[in-house]
Amino acid sequence: MNNINIYLVRHGQTYFNLYERFQGWSDIELTKKGVADGHRSGHLLANIKFDAAYSSDLSRAVKTAEYILSENPHTTIKTPTTLPEFREQFFGSFEGTDTVAAIKKITQANHLTDIESFSELLTKQGVDNALNALKAADPYHDAENAAQFWTRIDAGFDFLRQAHPNGATILLVSHGSTIRSIAGHFGKKEYEGIAPENGSITKLTLTPDDVKVIFYSQTEQLPEA
């Protein structure tokens, strides 16, 4: 049985997080709080020896992983290996736009009159329908739909399964929508409507044919699991 432990961390706060803009594949710098988020996560994970460390290839995830690793005396790895498969959801032409204004356009285009926020869109429609609604509303149709998103996420998990032996412990730094989608899809559906905090830690167990969510979006103390 090839069970791999993954500590899945959301990157620290960025300027687009602060300004409440859709970020996606846009490569935005961390704020001072974002740097502190990374170090805080590192302190929480300081007693865990990682056999490997990965991050999305976007700089906010790479830097957060480096801050986490700098706090860990048990791990000699200092820089993560980048995995584009665990990038944030791609928002197409909505990248960089104000979240409230973008959601208004998305809901109007899809005739969803009772939804006013991204979390509400995910809660009421579910991740897959929300992804498809974003693509349908994007005038360029560049935003990822559900099939595109899950194809690359599944490819990322398949890589980790093939690259690591039973019992391996991995650090993986990714993004808010990606993490909540994974947690909702493989864990509790209600996670889809709860954004993980910047620098929060979610634990997964990767099995040969499944992903199990052990805990979600922890920032103060890690549960014993």
The model carries a pTM of 0.97
- What is the spatial distance between Cα 140 and Cα 221, in angstroms, rounded to a whole number? 43
Give the mean pLDDT of the chain: 96
pLDDT of 46-56, one tens digit each?
999 999 999 99
Edge-to-edge strand ranges of the sheet holding 211-218: 81-82, 52-55, 169-174, 4-10, 201-206, 211-218
11 catalytic? Reply is yes
Active-site pick, 66, 85, 88, 192: 88
pLDDT of 151-171, one tens digit each?
999 999 999 999 999 999 999
Active-site pick, 11, 164, 175, 185: 11
Statement: residue 224 has pLDDT above 90: no
What percent of the chain shows pLDDT beyond 70?
Answer: 99
